[in-house]
Structure 1
């Protein structure tokens, strides 16, 4: 998420993604609690091809001395705080966090505390059932991805992460990702007006997170009508909103053993005989 603006992408993963997630167990200790130690490379080492390039996006890259585990800590912190406008997670990542409920329900653990790496040693976060519940709530609040058509100037391309920046007629910028098979084509469209067809992906707040392009073509004659920020048209159904407590006069209790009408027993019997 931090480098590619998406937690999952189709196709083969870049080598730097595999290296950044190369977590190795190196030991354990503890007195009343289990302490596990892991080792993994820093981002600037694992993703050197990314950090050698000039930064394209105003949001900036994470500190290269951090590790993938440090980035995970930021995700956990934002989910725990229910930061709906966070860019550290998307729908796919929230869905993965929600699966942790099985870990807490079936195992003896009530939480996992994560401490930062050497350059981030003062930071700690705890992953608990509350984290799982918040991830479900944020997932339920996130609008469904929708088809989009957007026009603007192709302002930047980052080949190592397959990201692009689109400058709208208003001067605003839209961040997007593109499929690897159109990489060569984008070089010829750089700084030109283009038409992007794809899918808009939103944050839990409803604000745009990214545009997932399927095609990017010359848009010299494309209308300015489409040079606007994609807006979420609907929200995702949150199952929690449908769960209501039931009492003696609500839910199933309100209709069990009752006829949903004002007819008397005699009128009902007469009607049944008429149609039998």
Structure 2
């Protein structure tokens, strides 16, 4: 991934606290606004001769990183708790530190974020049964949103039994639907935990994928 710091200065004491391109007074936000308004990356240097294509790519990388950090910081404001979850590490995306864990008991695909884990470790564990220690973030409605991994290691058979369930918040919000009779298939097998939050998961991971 491109290191935007080679092209951009984000020091709060420079450019009135806003990010600008090195050796220029051109604000990154100004270039991003041009791109958002339909100016193509190839046309940017015509408007800003001091910038090349690498600098423009650095601006896009910078914006993506800021967006990811904002989304993740917002997730920390939601209900969360420390957990351990065991299952099979089904997929990883090294470019954005995300992974998918098939939880042992139900095979429910749990979305995770593993910025604290080295890429080599994730690659080595792909396809194996693992136990993830970290923080589970929930929506305000109590559904699991994402698992922030602090450690991932090979799971023992006992781990799959003890930790092989989808995490739940300590206190689930009051829900009037608890008093409604279930019908059809849901009355027999229940509902997959988190099904109602697919859109929220997609939104939370939009800038991570």
TM-score if structure 1 supplies the norm length? 0.38
TM-score if structure 2 supplies the norm length? 0.49
**Higher-RCO chain (CA-CA 8 Å, sequence separation at least 6):** 2
Task: Judging by fraction of residues, say which structure has more helix.
Answer: 2
Give 1 or 2 for the bigger CA radius of gyration. 1
